[in-house]
Chain A
Amino acid sequence: MPDFEAAGAKLYVLSYDEADALADFKKAHGTTFTMLSDPDSEVIRSFGILNATIADDDHPWYGIPYPGVYITDSDGIIVEKFFENNFTVRPGPEQLLAAVRGEEVLLEERPNPVSEVSVDVDFVGDSLPVGISRQIVARFSLPEGMHVYGQPVPEGLVAASIELDEQVEGLVAYTPITPATRSMTLTGDGHTLEVYEGDVVLRLPVAQNGRAMTKDEEGRWVSIAGRVRWQACDSEACGLPEEQTFNFRVPAAFTVMADMGPGEGRVPSMNGATHFQKMTSRRHA
């Protein structure tokens, strides 16, 4: 929360819960962001994101949205959004903050011009709890006149990408976040290629499902291993496909489950069972 304030952004969380349930949640968890109540799913419907895979008589689940996040600029224009098919995985705050700030401020000053292609790979975040996605970020610096390929790429050429090792069980990669490519038409055969030039940042959200964790005396951790691939070319010729491997060891944990019990003697408690019962009976009425 202080991080969002520092970034100058206002955080809102909207759900189909009643206002009093949200009030109990705020009290129990000490949250300070604004929680919006949409008990008849009117806002959710107006956005067109009502979960249409749940039948309208399937109480009390009917009415939930496909969960996701919108980021706007100070004019209220959407600059980025985060949606994945699996509700189990949600974007970590680092990604949301990076979207609020704009990616470029995360780039350090580079010596310019560079004389050869260089790639830096980072994992953004200090842990990888189950179901929270964080990003692997690959930053390319390309010398003047050189480019690497983006998607779609013709057969035989290699597009710049971040890939996880296939043998790492329990790690899941999500939708890559890539900048717009420039279309370059070859003078020879008229083929059009999608390319990146200059400084390019590719991002791959990754999450773990609980089976990637190893436990030792230092606690639970995951190993995030893979490679960045690319092929650099200039207007005359293409180099061979190249790759740079990475392996990040990151602390890991299970995530906290929702408090559905009576929560007696426990702090915090948000009377989850009471609100659930109320929600069910209201929807059956």
Chain B
Amino acid sequence: MQIERDTRGAELGPNQYEDAEGYIAPLAAGSGPRSNPLGEFPTGPDVGERLPDIVTSDSDGRNVDLHADRDGQPVVLVFTRSAVW
């Protein structure tokens, strides 16, 4: 599936760009980190499926197997762009 980038928006002034929903940021909609998909886009496994296995490092460098680590608890798993920027 070819995903289109949403470049709708307007320049309001120096370093002030609004996107199609009226949010204002220093970058134009569709550039660099401000790249949103337009229309349909993949959102991964569906409701009703088992959360896929995740084995990766945590912030301490400890290897975490999510399904073992959650120890029978429900999970809230957030995919975020970056904790740095």
Residues of A within 8 A of B (CB): 4, 7-17, 19, 21-23, 25-26, 34-38, 42-44, 46-49, 51-54, 58, 61, 64-81, 83, 85-89, 96, 100, 130-131, 169-170, 172, 209-211, 258, 260, 270, 272, 275-276, 279
Contact = CB atoms under 8 A, between A and B. Distances in A.
A258 B74 contact: no
A13 B57 CA distance: 12
B47 A61 contact: no
Contact of A66 (B43, B47, B66): B43
A76 B50 contact: yes
A201 to B, nearest CB: 17
A72 B77 contact: yes
Contacts of B33: 61, 64
Contact of A87 (B22, B52, B81, B85): B81
A44 B36 contact: no
B61 interface: yes
A9 B59 contact: no
Given A53-B37, A65-B81, A210-B23, A48 B6 contact: no
Given A14-B79, A43-B54, A83-B43, 6 more contacts: A64-B82, A78-B50, A88-B23, A209-B21, A272-B84, A276-B84
B24 to A, nearest CB: 6
B67 A76 contact: yes
A258 B82 CA distance: 10
